[in-house]
Structure 1
């Protein structure tokens, strides 16, 4: 995944707030958002268990200062050298693509935090994984999650695995802008609305990946190796795989994100077609 060295980054789309204080009490998660909807989590909330049991990080880290990304992240060359600047480049490309597809597209800022953060949907700590809050239209990421993706969940990892995760969360922003979230609800289960929302977000991530080179931020289209990173990450966070790993059994009635096979299928469908209209996960079987 190579950025165009001369591409100009807009660091205002990403804010590094630092942090280090978690928001969830041991044994539960407190989230909210009222009528605005839901927090869509990548990993936690699947089983109703303490997210610290998944990540092994019960104690919040020491307070960490944020950084001024506008001074660090100016060009595509910076994005090739720095993880935080890479996030800026990915976010810029994703929003450039969707702004050309949705009339009146409203940009969503990504918040990088450490340990814990307060959101309009409630308090969150890093153990929940990346998530989108529809109440404040922001994506929240603790970059430590990407280490967990490899060490706890067995994903290959890599820069494009990170890009897939970010693109998935922006898929939820697109759903929010289109009114899909409020329209379909959030029922769990193998054929439920929650799974269908998540799979559509995977498909939207694939659509962006197919079209990303046209946004002007990348030097060339993504390679087969890049796409394999995304597919591997999608498989690693399938409901069936995580349930088997955490509980030793699979309960389809508790599915919220889709199986490994479904997640790779729908990302692949989006990437193959490059067309968001081909991401209808709400009609028929999935």
Structure 2
């Protein structure tokens, strides 16, 4: 209930900017989807939790298209890295951090097929991008977004007539990113594990958890569809995800 009250009391400022150049190559495309939030927790029971907390949450993304077949993509994610109590006052950007959520290359050898190599968000679930409201936004990112994936991925558009819609199947094999790409660009420099933080200076095996195996033994398979003539406005997403046993003993899920 406390989380619900915090979200309903939030003052939301959202900016979405998309920049796109002409179809000529090479070209750069960028997008900013960044919100400024202010949570007022005056009704909180604990005195340390009362007050106002202001922070940023969202992404800044960019893509460099060298030609119609080859492009490079990067996404910078910005969010609080841990819990901060206002102690009856007002705090701003406390424990704020930024890190690379995606950094990969895309290659399209033929029409309808895209190969991805690098760091990406696992193609499982779309709630973190589609759910409305403040509560759903934060909770979906916490529990419904599988990022920090380093590996390979392929997307193929099924060769169907236009009236049957557009259907894309995606397959991915990955591990949890422990490379230099997982290093925090801004924020907490502590190593795992310390209290009041959800993310540390860099991902390590000590973080544990399913998928943190150091091998490409985590898999995802997804099927997405839209633009179906008989079902205007209808879209669907069906996916399977399997993550290997972590080095801390966490079972495969």
Is the structural similarity TM-score above 0.5?
A: no
Q: Which of 1 and 2 has higher RCO (CA within 8 Å, sep 6+)? A: 1
- TM-score normalised by L of structure 2: 0.32
Of Structure 1 and Structure 2, the greater strand share is in 2
Which structure shows the bigger proportion of residues in helix conformation?
A: 1
Rg larger for: 2
- TM-score of the pair, normalised by structure 1: 0.29
